[in-house]
């Protein structure tokens, strides 16, 4: 399809020509891992703490770029056009993996820290389920790229930690202390509430377990994925509101009237892809009405014709345009179109969103990448860093990779 081909061609150029070199330059050859902070002015703080989520996502990013080559979606010649090779990208993934293995994982108590200092010493020792999930995701991808069974063993060990320490009879927990005692969930709570459980953590446990299941075929993990799907369908998704609830008390009661547009459009395509990997028709039949409804509702009530606001609280729209929301919007609408080609409005929406990204969200300064946030008119928020513990190449890098995949295979 011509429109998808054009999007994929841009995505290839952007991924290999802009995002890959930006993040590759953040490699710390003295202390390991990748530098944890770049200011809006593009000044790197080499002594900033290194978020373990950030380093997991960077490791995931490089691993999955290499997998484009390994899986036949990009030729080696394409890498060489941009002054690199697949093997050099795999070495960057290896660099991230070794830092995760040696510095981010708590050898005494198990699990991965929230952050370490610039030299790799524990800084914030919170054990958050969300963070464990991204480490599993990164390690599974690195194993897929490299064949390194040590990485798969670490992923398996972290999955055991999540199942043994980070859940109860009701569902998955959030923040815990270094030794897995109670701790307030301030890291994944916003909008003036402190949540006992969150949609966001559950979504990324699902994502990480899907990645682990894809490379292992582990039946226990498949069973866990089926259970998570049922929680989404029965506790997270509200068919009456045509959206997901976001923050919950311990009994999965919603504690705020919040419509997270970005998370809904991300869930729509990400869970669709996950249930395809699970491959069970009963799960697909249960989940697909939800993802169809989420996509339709975002298009109907939130998308303004060229970009997507962050969220609506108590009916009041927050008009900021975060980088990750824009990336997920492209994929959510591409997914909606590919699954039902009669929805040409979704393809048009994805194209308009990508145009907004090109014009306003991508920072055209030499050697930069995407702004963290712009306003409705595309003006950047100069108070936000270009790199910090949340600002990473996961969303925009994944958008590029999935567009390449969509062009080559007809699906995300």
| pLDDT at residue number 216 | 98
- Could you give the CA distance from residue 131 to residue 78 in angstroms, rounded to a whole number? 33
- Could you give the CA distance from residue 287 to residue 302 in angstroms, rounded to a whole number? 22
Q: How is the chain split into domains, by residue range?
A: 2-409
Q: Following CA atoms 273, 338, 299, 401 in sequence, which dihedral angle do they give, to the nearest 10 degrees?
A: 60
Convert 183-192 to b/e letters by CB count within 10 Å (16 or more is b).
bebebbbbbe
Average pLDDT over all residues of the chain:
98
Locate 174 and state its tokens.
Answer: 């959030």
The pLDDT tens digits of the residues spanning 120-155 come to 999 999 999 999 999 999 999 999 999 999 999 999
| pLDDT at residue number 50 | 98
Topology of the domain comprising 2-409 = Glycosyltransferase (1.50.10)
Q: Parallel, antiparallel, or unpaired: how do β-strands 122-124 and 115-116 relate? A: antiparallel
| pLDDT at residue number 42 | 98
- Whether the per-residue pLDDT at 108 is higher than 90: the answer is yes
- Whether the per-residue pLDDT at 1 is higher than 90: the answer is no
The pLDDT tens digits of the residues spanning 240-267 come to 999 999 999 999 999 999 999 999 999 9
In order, the DSSP letters of 81-92 are: HTT--HHHHHHH
Q: Percent of the chain, pLDDT > 90?
A: 100
Q: What is the pTM of this model?
A: 0.98
Give me the mean pLDDT over the 209-216 stretch.
98
| pLDDT at residue number 306 | 97
Per the CB < 8 A criterion, the answer to whether 258 and 295 are in contact is: no
Q: Percent of the chain, pLDDT > 70?
A: 100
Locate 279 and state its tokens.
Answer: 């491959």
Per the CB < 8 A criterion, the answer to whether 332 and 303 are in contact is: no
The pLDDT tens digits of the residues spanning 275-325 come to 999 999 999 999 999 999 999 999 999 999 999 999 999 999 999 999 999
| pLDDT at residue number 120 | 98
The pLDDT tens digits of the residues spanning 353-393 come to 999 999 999 999 999 999 999 999 999 999 999 999 999 99
The pLDDT tens digits of the residues spanning 21-79 come to 999 999 999 999 999 999 999 999 999 999 999 999 999 999 999 999 999 999 999 99
Question: Cα–chain-centroid distance for residue 305?
Answer: 24
Q: Following CA atoms 209, 370, 21, 334 in sequence, which dihedral angle do they give, to the nearest 10 degrees?
A: 50
- Could you give the CA distance from residue 345 to residue 21 in angstroms, rounded to a whole number? 34
- Could you give the CA distance from residue 45 to residue 302 in angstroms, rounded to a whole number? 37
State whether residue 252 is helix, strand or coil. coil
| Neighbouring residues of 14: CB distance < 8 A, sequence distance ≥ 6 | 362, 400
């Amino acid at each position: 399809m011509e429109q998808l081909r054009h999007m994929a061609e841009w995505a290839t150029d952007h991924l290999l020509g802009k995002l890959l070199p930006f993040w590759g330059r953040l490699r710390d050859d003295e202390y390991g891992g990748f530098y944890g902070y770049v200011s809006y002015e593009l000044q790197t703080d080499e002594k900033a703490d290194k978020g373990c989520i950030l380093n997991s996502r960077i490791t995931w990013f490089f691993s999955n770029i290499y997998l484009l080559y390994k899986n036949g979606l990009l030729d080696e010649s394409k890498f060489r056009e941009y002054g690199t090779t697949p093997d050099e990208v795999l070495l960057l993934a290896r660099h991230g993996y070794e830092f995760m293995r040696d510095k981010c994982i708590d050898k005494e108590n198990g699990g991965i820290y929230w952050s370490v200092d610039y030299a790799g010493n524990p800084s914030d020792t919170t054990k958050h389920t969300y963070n464990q999930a991204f480490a599993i995701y990164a390690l599974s991808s690195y194993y897929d790229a490299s064949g390194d069974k040590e990485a798969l063993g670490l992923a398996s060990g972290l999955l055991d930690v999540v199942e043994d320490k980070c859940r109860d009879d009701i569902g998955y927990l959030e923040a815990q202390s270094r030794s897995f005692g109670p701790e307030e969930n301030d890291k994944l709570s916003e909008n003036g509430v402190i949540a006992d459980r969150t949609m966001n953590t559950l979504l990324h446990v699902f994502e990480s377990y899907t990645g682990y299941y894809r490379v292992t075929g582990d039946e226990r993990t498949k069973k866990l994925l089926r259970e998570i799907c049922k929680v989404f369908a029965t506790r997270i998704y509200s068919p009456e509101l045509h959206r997901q609830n976001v923050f919950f008390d311990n009994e999965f009661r919603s504690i705020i009237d919040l419509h997270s547009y970005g998370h809904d459009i991300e869930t729509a395509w990400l869970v669709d892809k996950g249930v395809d990997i699970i491959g069970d028709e009963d799960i697909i039949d249960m989940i697909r009405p939800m993802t169809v409804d989420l996509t339709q509702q975002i298009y109907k009530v939130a998308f303004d014709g060229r970009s997507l606001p962050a969220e609506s609280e108590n009916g009041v729209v927050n008009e900021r345009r975060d980088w990750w929301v824009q990336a997920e919007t492209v994929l959510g609408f591409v997914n909606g179109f590919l699954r039902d080609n009669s929805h040409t409005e979704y393809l048009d929406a994805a194209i308009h969103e990508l145009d907004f990204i090109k014009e306003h969200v991508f920072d055209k300064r030499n050697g930069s990448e995407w702004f963290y946030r712009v306003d409705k008119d595309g003006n950047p928020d100069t108070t936000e860093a270009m790199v910090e513990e949340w600002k990473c190449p996961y969303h925009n890098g994944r958008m590029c990779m999935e567009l390449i995949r969509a062009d080559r295979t007809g699906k995300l």
